[in-house]
Structure 1
C-alpha cells in the first residue's frame, strides 16, 4: 500500500480539487453542501409535483365544464399544453426535453455541457405543463435532472469550482431527485451507483455525499408533504416456495416486454427527431390531441401512471382480465409517443404502470391454470414493476429496492429478485442495451452531426 503522502501526491496530479477534500474538514464541508442540495431537491420536487397537479386540475375542470364538447375540450387542452411544453424546450433549453437522465450522465462524464440555470427554469415550467396535460410521462426524470442542476447551483453559490466537488454535488442532486420523486432514498443511492456507474466517480466522499443528499431529500419531502406510501397497497402474504418458478417464467416474459419497450422507443424517436421545428411542433399537437381523446374516453389510459396503478391495485377495474391487456396495449404506444414528442418527462412511472398491468394479467392467468398454488395477482404486479425497470434500464438492484420501498412488501424480496434478474438477463441475451446509454449515445451522435455555427 502506498503511504498517505504518495496517495495525496497522485491525487493532486489527477485532480487538485479532489485532493483538497482528502482532509476530514474538507469533506465534512462537502457533506454539508450535499445535505443542502438534497433538501433543496426534495423541496423542489414537492413544488413540482404540486404544480403539475394544479395544471392537471385546471385541465380537468375545463373539460368537466364543457358539456357535450368534453371530448373536444380534452383534446384541445392536452394539445395546447403539449405544444407549449415542447415549444419552450426547443426555444430555450433543448437538453431539458424528455427524461434528462441521459443529459445528467453525459454531464457527469464530461461529455455534455450543463446549463443548470436554464434547465431548472425550463424543466420546471415545461415539465409541469407536460405532466399536467395528461401525457404518459413521469416526474422522476425531471426531478433527477433538476436535482443535478441544484447540485451545480450549490457548487456555484459556495464557490466550489473544482471539477470533483461539482461532480459530487451534481450526482448527489440526481440521486436526491429520484429519492424525492418516489419516496425511496435507498433507491436514489443505488440509482447513482448502479445506473450511473460508468460516469460516477465512486469513492468514500462521493458515495457518502449521495447518501447524505438522498436522506436530506426524504426528510424535506416528509416535512412538506407528510409521510405516506408511494404505492398504497396491502401487505401481501409470503409466496409459497413452490410458486417461485412462476416468477422465473414471469421474468422471462417481462424481459421480452422490456426488449420491445426499448426497441419501440428508439424507433419512435427515429420518426420524430429528424423533423424540423414546425413539423415537430405539429407532431406534438397531434400527440397531445390523441392523448386528450384517450384521457376523455378512458381516463386511466393517460397520465403518468399513478391513477392506473391505483385503479389496478385497488381492483377498481371492472371486466375480465383481458381488459388489463387492452389497457396495456393502449398505454404502451401512448408512452412511446409522449416521450418522442420531446416534452419534458420521464419513463419510470409509465414503466411501473405497464409492469403492473402485465403482472396482474399474468397473475390472473396463472391462477386460472394453477388454482390454489399461485400467489395473488398483486404479487406479480409488484414483481412486474421492478422487472420491467430492470429489463429496460438494466439496473436490477435499483429496481428491486425501488419497488420494495414504494410498496413496503418486503416479504416479496425473493420473488422480486428472481423476476428482475431473469428479466434483465433475458433482455441482455436478446441484445437489448440499457435505455439511458442508448439515449445518451443518440444525443452525442446528434450533437456531432450538427455543423458548427
Structure 2
C-alpha cells in the first residue's frame, strides 16, 4: 500500500493561479504584445535595410568609381556618430545582449548595452552601413534591436510577475533571430544555445511563445516561403561523403580563422601598427577600411557589397554566377567592415562565404549535385564562425528547406564547430567579455569591440 501523497495537485488552486489572476493575464499580455512589437520592428528594420542597399546599388550603377568616394566617407561618418552618440550600438549586437545577461552587470549599466534608444540607433546606423555598401548582415543587429524593445516592456509588468530582465532579454534576442531569418524554430534554439544561462521554468512557456510569435509576425509579412528558396540536393548517399567531409573541414578551418581574426582585431590589444592606428584615430581608420571594402567591391564587380544574400542565392541556383575568388574577397571585406567599428552583423556574410566555399569544393570534386555541398558549406562556416552548431544547422535547414539533409547538415555543423574550437574561443562569448567591466570598479568597455584606451581607462 502506497502512502498518501503529501502534496496532492489541487486543480482548483492551479486553475485560479493560471486563469483567474489578473496579474497573470497582464503579464501574458505585456510579454506577448512586446514580442509582437519586437517582430514588427525587426520586419521594419529589414525593409529599411533592403531599401538602403538598393539605394547603394543605384549609386554604384552610376560609375564603378563612385563607391571609392562614397563608401569610405560614409563608413567614417557612421563610426564617428556611433562613438559620439551611441557607443553601445557598435559591433554585432549579440555580444551586447550576452553581456547584459551576465549577473555581474548591475541594472544601472544594462542600458549602456541594451535599450530602446540603442535599438533605434542600431536601426539607423546599420542601415547606413548597407547604404554605404559595407559587407555586413542585419541579423546580429536584429538581436540587440528586439532585445531593447522587449526590455522596455518591463516597466509595464506587475511587480510580482516573475518575469525578470534576464527572461525579457533572452526572449528579445531570440525573437530578433526568428524575425530576421523568418525562422521561428531557429530563434528558440538560439535562445537555448547562446543566450539562456539560467532558464526560469515558471515562465519558459510564455517566453517561447513570445519568440515564436515574433517569428510568425515575419512569416505573416513575408509569407511562409524559405529565405533562399527550395534546394534540390539530389540523392543523399555515399557519393556525398567525400565532398561533404572536405567542405566540413575547409569551412571549419576557415570559420575558425575568421573568428580568431575578428577577435584579435576587435580586442584592440595587438601591438601592430593598424591596431595602434585604430586606437588613436578610429574615424580615420574606419575611412581606410571603407576604402579597402570599396576597392574589393570594384575588383569583384560589386559582388562583395552588402550582406551577400544575392550571391548566396546565385550559388544555390545552378544558373547563377559569382566571380572567382569570391569566398576570399568576401571574407576580407566582412572582416574589414567589422574591424572598422561600424554596427555590423556577420550571419548573412558568413552564409555567403560558406556557400562560395561549398561551390568551390563541389567544382573541385566534380560532384554533380552542387546545392547539397553548398548548403553544407553554409552551415559549416556559420557554425565554425559562431560556434553555435545547433542554431546554424536549424537556420540553414529552414532557409533552404533542407529537411532531406537533416543528418548531413547536423553532422557538418557539429564537426566544423569542433574544428573551429581548436583555432579560436567562442566568438560571441569572448566579445561579450569585452563589454563587461572588470570585476571591480573599472568603467564599461566600448561596445562592439571598439576598445580604445579612452574607453577603458578609469
- TM class by smaller structure: 0.7 to 0.9
- Check whether the contact 1:55–1:129 (CA below 8 A) recurs between aligned residues: yes
Distance 1:160 1:341 in 2: 43
1:92 corresponds to = 85
- Check whether the contact 2:351–2:379 (CA below 8 A) recurs between aligned residues: yes
Matched, 1:204 2:201: yes
Partner secondary structure for residue 228 of structure 2: coil
Partner secondary structure for residue 301 of structure 1: coil
2:74 corresponds to = 81
Which of 41, 44, 60 aligns to 2:41? It is: 44
1:114 corresponds to = 110
Unaligned runs of 5+ in 2: 9-15, 446-452
2:30 corresponds to = 33
Distance 2:203 2:343 in 1: 28
Matched, 1:451 2:457: yes
Q: What's the CA shift for 1:253?
A: 2.2
Q: What's the CA shift for 1:123?
A: 0.6
Distance 1:28 1:435 in 2: 39
Pairs within 5 Å for 1:139-154:
139-154=138-153
Distance 2:162 2:100 in 1: 11
More helix by share: 1
TM-score between the two structures when normalised by the length of structure 1: 0.84
Distance 1:179 1:247 in 2: 28
Distance 1:157 1:254 in 2: 46
CA pair 292-250 structure 1, distance change in 2 beyond 3 A: closer
1:8 corresponds to = none
Distance 1:174 1:231 in 2: 23
CA offsets per residue over residues 38-80 of structure 1, 9 Å max, x none? Answer: 2112211111122122222333333334xxxx23321222223
- Check whether the contact 1:353–1:385 (CA below 8 A) recurs between aligned residues: yes
- Check whether the contact 1:175–1:213 (CA below 8 A) recurs between aligned residues: no
Distance 1:261 1:44 in 2: 30
Matched, 1:293 2:289: no
2:431 corresponds to = 439
Distance 1:362 1:216 in 2: 38
- Check whether the contact 2:278–2:285 (CA below 8 A) recurs between aligned residues: no
- Check whether the contact 1:84–1:126 (CA below 8 A) recurs between aligned residues: no
CA pair 273-185 structure 1, distance change in 2 beyond 3 A: farther
Which of 314, 317, 321 aligns to 1:311? It is: 314
Matched, 1:423 2:426: no
Q: What's the CA shift for 1:4?
A: 7.3
- Check whether the contact 2:125–2:343 (CA below 8 A) recurs between aligned residues: yes
TM-score between the two structures when normalised by the length of structure 2: 0.83
- Check whether the contact 1:30–1:209 (CA below 8 A) recurs between aligned residues: no
Aligned residues: 418
Matched, 1:247 2:253: no
Pairs within 5 Å for 1:219-368:
219-241=216-238, 243-244=240-241, 246-269=243-266, 270=268, 275=277, 279-297=281-299, 298-318=301-321, 323-324=323-324, 326-367=325-366
Partner secondary structure for residue 110 of structure 2: coil
1:18 corresponds to = none
- Check whether the contact 1:81–1:133 (CA below 8 A) recurs between aligned residues: yes
Distance 1:119 1:84 in 2: 17
CA offsets per residue over residues 228-257 of structure 1, 9 Å max, x none? Answer: 321124332231145335423432222211
Distance 2:418 2:238 in 1: 22
Q: What's the CA shift for 1:339?
A: 0.6
Q: What's the CA shift for 1:333?
A: 1.0
Q: What's the CA shift for 1:3?
A: 7.9
1:71 corresponds to = 64
Pairs within 5 Å for 1:386-397:
386-397=379-390
CA offsets per residue over residues 278-307 of structure 1, 9 Å max, x none? Answer: 711111112222223333442112211112
